[in-house]
Amino acid sequence: MTQSVLTVAPNRHIGLPDLMGILNDQNTRAIDVIAGSGALSCQDGMLLLKGTEPDISSTGVTLTAGAYTLSDIALAGVGEKLNIPLPYLRRMAQDNVPALDYNVNTWMERDHRRFLVRCLRHTAGGSDGGVARAFLSDRFLRLDNLDVLLAVLDGIRDTGVSVTVDSCDLTDRRMYVRFISPEIEVLAPELLRNYRSPFDGRRGSDLPVINGGFILTNSETGFGKYSLAPFIRVKVCKNGQTIDKALLSRTHKGAKITHDDGIIDPSPETLRKLLELITEQTKDAVRAYLDVDFVTRAVRDLEQAAGIVVARPDETIKIVSKELKYTEEQQREILSHFIVGADLSAGGVMQAVTSFGRSVADADVAYRMETTATQALHLAAKAAAA
């Protein structure tokens, strides 16, 4: 067996128990605040939020202003809402904090809107501040990762279909959970006959199996809607990609929050209805995506373009990367995976994109590889045939 040349990113692909532990910890420290110009300001580069930190004294508990470090995501939200260029904000945060305070406060005073600020305290119920992780419109509909995940697991359980969690990733932008059914297997000898796993050298011809599944994504910080999308995984190397055929989703925008400034909690009734909808959509996803005929059609569609020989890999991958806006570094990595994968076809380019996705440390980049792999296949086939 060929010795492994490339490796899977060690900081990714966590299991469901680990993900649940992280989400439970975050929920104990989470605080969401609706604030207008009178309730928030910037001081020493920190975001000050009135009425968010408990102050315990002999007379009781009062809420005082809390200081929260601005994450890059929150800083970008401030820039977007106040129309301040993000590179300028970053430069001030790095080199001239008083200028950052002045600019944010000056423009905030002129703005009469209210905003949703999503924070994580350093400690649960503590008064030692924390991190502002997102600065959003007060129309943003909060669908927290843990609630969404539990609703999806309920939907899977209700169907009685055998589904396993293949891998999970959590970033500051999104949660990713990939579900696979071990019962939904499709043989793909034509697609995999020349492919070799870049991770352990196993050949696709020895295990030409593709499993059907779906991927759950959700963002608590404004990076796209909750969604369930069909997902297939090559068994020999665990490379996976989405299928551009169907999508179940819920946008994170709802009725404007109308209560006074301060710490907010969602209406239990509103949250219950939203989560019930997600559970029902999950049942629809299981019925639609975990179907042998559905996966077979998806695989056959890929095979139509996959067999075209790529005579000039450097040039073809450069064209694909330009069209899909991959960086030069990503282009080089995809070429490396293409060479090690040893499948000199358009299908090999697709596999190189997905195997790079498994090896890259940034889960957000990995997801983009998974969602553009089919496009990369067709672009490579077109370029190779030209």
Sign of CA dihedral 378, 381, 383, 386: negative
Token pair in block for residue 179: 């579900």
HSE, side-chain direction, 13 A CA sphere, residue 293: 2
Supply 282's token pair. 């999950």
What is the spatial distance between Cα 78 and Cα 104, in angstroms, rounded to a whole number?
A: 8
Identity of residue 93:
A
Query: How far is residue 293's CA from residue 245's CA, in Å, rounded to a whole number?
Result: 13
Residue 335 sits at the vertex; the CA angle it makes with 331 and 338, to the nearest 5 degrees, is 140
CA–CA gap between residue 244 and residue 62 (Å, rounded): 52
Which residues are CB-contacts of 335 (< 8 A; sequence separation ≥ 6)? 313, 314, 317, 352
Is pLDDT above 90 for 18? Answer: yes
Q: What is the pLDDT of residue 138?
A: 87
pTM summary value: 0.90
184: its two tokens = 């939904």
Instruction: Inform me whether the pLDDT recorded for 61 exceeds 50.
Output: no
Cβ atoms of 361 and 12 closer than 8 Å = yes
Closest CA to 363 of 186, 185, 178: 178
Residue 222 and residue 81 in contact, taking contact as beta carbons nearer than 8 Å: no
For 158, the enclosing helix (H) or strand (E) is: helix 145-159
Query: Do residues 210 and 287 touch, judged by C-beta distance below 8 A?
Result: no
Judged against a pLDDT cut of 60, whether residue 250 lies above it is answered with: no
pLDDT in tens, 323-358: 999 999 999 999 999 999 999 999 999 999 999 999
Question: What phi and psi, each to the nearest 5 degrees, are found at residue 21?
Answer: -65, -45
Spatial distance between the Cα atoms of 30 and 52, rounded to a whole number of angstroms: 11
* pLDDT at residue number 193: 92
- Could you report the per-residue pLDDT of 126-151, keeping only the tens digit for each? 667 899 999 999 888 888 999 999 99
- Write out pLDDT tens, residues 87-108: 999 999 999 999 999 999 999 9
DSSP state of 235: T
For residue 256, what is the DSSP state? P
Q: Residue 8: which of 200, 243, 264 has the closest Cα?
A: 200
Q: Which stretch of 51-65, 82-96, 141-155, 205-219 has the lowest confidence by average pLDDT?
A: 51-65
Q: Which pLDDT tens digit goes with each residue over 355-379?
A: 999 999 999 999 999 999 999 999 9
d(CA 251, CA 254): 8
Residues 45 and 201: beta-carbon distance below 8 Å: no
pLDDT at position 247 is 60
Residue range 55-80: mean pLDDT, rounded = 76
What span, in angstroms and rounded, lies between the C-alpha atoms of 322 and 307? Answer: 22
Single out the residue of 241, 277, 205 nearest to residue 374, CA to CA.
241
Supply the DSSP string of 115-142, one letter for each residue.
Answer: EEEEEEESSTT-SS-EEEEEEEETTB--
Token couple for 216? 């759950």
Q: Span 69-79, mean pLDDT?
A: 96
Contact (Cβ atoms closer than 8 angstroms) between residue 33 and residue 133: no
Tell me the backbone φ, ψ of residue 164, rounded to 5 degrees: -120, 155
